[in-house]
């Protein structure tokens, strides 16, 4: 009788173990063998990306708002514009940046959004020039490398921007030799500031300083 009970307990234990294993296989939860990148290995951030000035014409006046042609975009009529007036719109674009564990970054750009209108192009440009600033500074040079395919050789440099993301730029043989042993390099950057939070800025590579 004891032997019979022992077999029953053993069989029940094996059944429970099999059930747990099947449950683990069918579950969407990552296992210890899962090699996919998890949220702990990626970082997602939203940064200011660009501004532009677009010429338009005031269309219909709707209460305290107006439509801006040709796209009939509805905007507050803060400048007391009349139908038919020429105006210049300052538009904004931001970006969602996802960086994985290998420092590779995917960028998703938003649609353009009008944030302010002006009576002249000069006024709009003055505002935009405060939000997009060109600077020259030193950044970390991650390294240079070459790729070869048949008889062609291509040279690249990888730099780390102040925001922490890394970018790759093609370079010629002369610059490859110049940068080969350097740890820092002087570059031109464009700082794009957030119109709602000026201290929030994103630096974009705009060329080598020398």
CATH code for the part of the protein at 132-208: 2.40.50
Quote the pTM value: 0.74
Integer CA distances (angstroms), 38 to 42, 114, 119, in order: 7, 36, 49
Each residue's pLDDT tens digit, 136-185:
999 999 999 999 988 899 999 999 999 888 899 999 999 999 999 999 99
- Cβ proximity of 97 and 107 under 8 Å: yes
Report the pLDDT value the prediction gives residue 39, as an integer from 0 to 100: 53
pLDDT at residue 15 above 80?
A: no
pLDDT at residue 203 above 50?
A: yes
Torsion-angle region of 207 (φ positive above 0: left; ψ -120 to 50: alpha; else: beta): left
Taken in order 7, 10, 13, 15, the sign of the CA dihedral is negative
Q: What is the DSSP letter of 120?
A: S
Q: What is the DSSP letter of 37?
A: -
In the chain, domain spans: 40-129, 132-208
């Amino acid at each position: 009788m004891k032997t019979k009970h022992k077999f029953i307990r053993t069989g029940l234990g094996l059944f429970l173990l099999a059930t747990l294993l099947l449950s683990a296989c069918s579950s969407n939860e990552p296992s210890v063998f899962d090699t996919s990148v998890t949220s702990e290995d990626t970082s997602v951030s939203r940064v200011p990306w660009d501004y532009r000035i677009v010429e338009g014409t005031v269309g219909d006046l709707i209460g305290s708002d107006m439509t801006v042609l040709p796209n009939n975009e509805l905007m507050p009529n803060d400048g007391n514009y009349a139908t038919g007036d020429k105006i210049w719109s300052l538009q904004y674009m931001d970006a969602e940046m996802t960086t994985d564990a290998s420092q590779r970054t995917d960028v998703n750009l938003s649609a353009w959004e009008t944030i302010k209108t002006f009576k002249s192009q000069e006024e709009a440009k003055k505002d935009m020039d405060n939000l997009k600033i060109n600077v020259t500074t030193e950044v970390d040079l991650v390294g240079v490398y070459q790729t070869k395919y048949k008889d062609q050789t291509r040279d690249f440099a990888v730099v780390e921007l102040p925001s922490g993301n890394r970018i790759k730029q093609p370079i010629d043989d002369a610059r490859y030799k110049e940068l080969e042993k350097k740890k820092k390099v002087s570059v031109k950057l464009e700082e794009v500031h957030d119109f709602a939070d000026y201290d929030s800025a994103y630096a974009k590579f705009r060329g080598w300083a020398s």
